[in-house]
């Protein structure tokens, strides 16, 4: 099971750029462009981005 499937409903689910891209069937670069343009909620952990997948899916970006 991935992090996308295991988090409880109240906890925001932040996933890697790669996991978000795989879930949405898009390229990693597409997710990074969306982060840069602030189209999706994300945080930076160290030098890597994490995407709030719940917020992303709610917006209907899919």
- pLDDT tens string 13-55: 899 999 999 988 899 999 999 999 998 889 999 999 999 988 7
pLDDT band at 61 (very low <50, low <70, confident <90, very high): low
pTM over cut 0.85: no
d(CA 27, CA 36): 15
Look at residue 53 in the predicted model and tell me its pLDDT.
84
Task: Output the DSSP codes for 3-57.
Answer: HHHHS-TTS--EEEHHHHHHHHT--HHHHHHHHHTT-S-EEEETTEEEEEHHHHH
Q: Is the pLDDT of residue 1 over 60?
A: no
Domain ranges of the chain: 13-58
Q: The CATH number of 13-58 is which of 3.30.70, 3.30.1370, 3.30.230, 3.90.105?
A: 3.90.105
């Amino acid at each position: 099971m991935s992090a996308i499937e295991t988090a409880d409903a109240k906890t925001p689910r932040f996933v890697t750029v790669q996991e978000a891209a795989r879930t949405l069937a898009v390229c990693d670069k597409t997710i990074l462009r969306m982060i840069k343009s602030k189209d999706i909620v994300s945080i930076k952990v160290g030098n890597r981005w994490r995407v709030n997948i719940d917020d992303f899916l709610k917006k209907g970006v899919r």
